Amino acid sequence: MDVSGEVADLMVKESIQLTEASIKLLAAGSKNLAAFLWALAKDNKRLVGKTNMARLLKEGKELKVFRVKESDLAEFQVFAKKNVLYAAVKDKRSDSGMVDLITNADFVSQVNLFMERRGYPAPTQEEAPKKDGPRAQRDSFSPQRGNILNPSQTRTSTAEPTSEKPSVKGRLAALQAASESMKAAKTPQGRSAPPKAR
């Protein structure tokens, strides 16, 4: 028996199996790397520069539109490459020579800076409708409703409130008098009021 021949055959067989296993691992790794790179490319993690509308819409933030001349677009692209995430949209049906720059609300100040430097008019801000003032005074006294602390004033009273504040003792005395008059009205005429519990 030739031992050296068997050893050589065994070595060749093992090297073929080792090469086959390494090729399988390399193929699986490259497939996974390609899938990872494809997912990264589709996710589009771009933070600034030109992008498409789908990317801006996917963020879900408020979008702002700016109109610039087509001749200024190249200069804006140079400016925005490091500062602004935007999408440029040109209406192909129109020959106005204007391009819409769409960006989210995070980059409005940078776009306004570019527009100001190029001499474009300042954007007009849409103002929300202002709310009307309060219907009644926010004080304890209202001529329409009366004073909650002084029940003697009625709704029809149009007296101006005095500049002096009534004293606490005076208000307390008025409330006690009103309470006693209500108690007197509740007791029948022939009977005396029950004694107060002390």
> Rounded distance, CA 20 to CA 24, Å?
6
Confidence of residue 87 (pLDDT cuts 50, 70, 90): confident
Q: pLDDT for 20-53, tens place per residue?
A: 999 999 999 999 898 888 877 766 566 777 777 8
Q: How far apart are the first and last CA of the chain?
A: 128
Q: Is the pLDDT of residue 149 over 70?
A: no
Residue 72 makes CB contacts below 8 A (sequence gap 6+) with 118
pLDDT at 193: 56
Examine the pLDDT at 12 and tell me if it is beyond 80. yes
Q: Give residue limits of the domains in the chain.
A: 49-118
Closest CA to 88 of 57, 112, 120, 65: 65
Beta strands 85-89 and 98-104, pairing class? antiparallel
Compute the distance between CA of residue 107 and CA of residue 62 in angstroms, rounded to an integer.
11
pTM for the model stands at 0.41
Residue 17 has pLDDT above 90, yes or no: yes
